[in-house]
Structure 1
Amino acid sequence: MPDIKYEINKRIGVLSENAKGWVKEINLVSWNDRAPKYDIREWSPEHDKMGKGVTLSREELLELKNILNSIDI
């Protein structure tokens, strides 16, 4: 499997942290030299390892924001 190249362009926020120090974050990430997208996933403390996540375009993030704003918590 080829190496995945990534660059965290902007750290937006931490959603949670587990006992081993991995953090679930939302960031703006460029994958394989492509345009950056919004990304939600777990990262190791050094940000050299990652878990599975979801990557969203700006439009998808705006739609998610609208959906979350409509939830009555």
Structure 2
Amino acid sequence: MAEIKYEILEKIGVLTESGRGWRKELNLISWNDRAPKYDLREWSPDGEKMGKGITLSKEDLVALKEILDRMDL
């Protein structure tokens, strides 16, 4: 399996933290030297392991924000 290269360019915020210390974070990440994308996933306490997540372009993130703004939360 090919190694995945990533660089966290900006840590935007933490949504939650589990009892084991894993944190669900929104970050701006460059994957495999590509243009950075917004990324939402869980990270281990040491930041070395990651869970499954989603990546969003700026346009995706803006659309998601508009949807969330319309919701009655």
- Asked if residue 49 in structure 1 is aligned to residue 72 in structure 2, the reply is no
Q: For structure 1, which runs of at least 5 residues remain unmatched after alignment?
A: none
SS in structure 2 opposite 1:19? Answer: coil
- How much has 1:67 moved relative to structure 2? 0.2
Partner residue in 2 for 1:68: 68
SS in structure 1 opposite 2:28? Answer: strand
SS in structure 1 opposite 2:65? Answer: helix
SS in structure 2 opposite 1:64? Answer: helix
Percent identity of paired positions between Structure 1 and Structure 2 = 64
Q: For structure 2, which runs of at least 5 residues remain unmatched after alignment?
A: none
SS in structure 2 opposite 1:10? Answer: strand
TM-align CA RMSD: 0.5
Q: Which amino acid aligns with 1:51?
A: G
Partner residue in 2 for 1:35: 35
Count of residue pairs the alignment pairs up: 73
- Give the TM-score, by structure 2 length: 0.98
- How much has 1:46 moved relative to structure 2? 1.5
* Moved beyond 4 Å, runs of 4+: none
- Give the TM-score, by structure 1 length: 0.98
Residues in 2 aligned to 1:7 and 1:60: alpha-carbon distance in whole angstroms:
20
Q: Which amino acid aligns with 1:55?
A: T
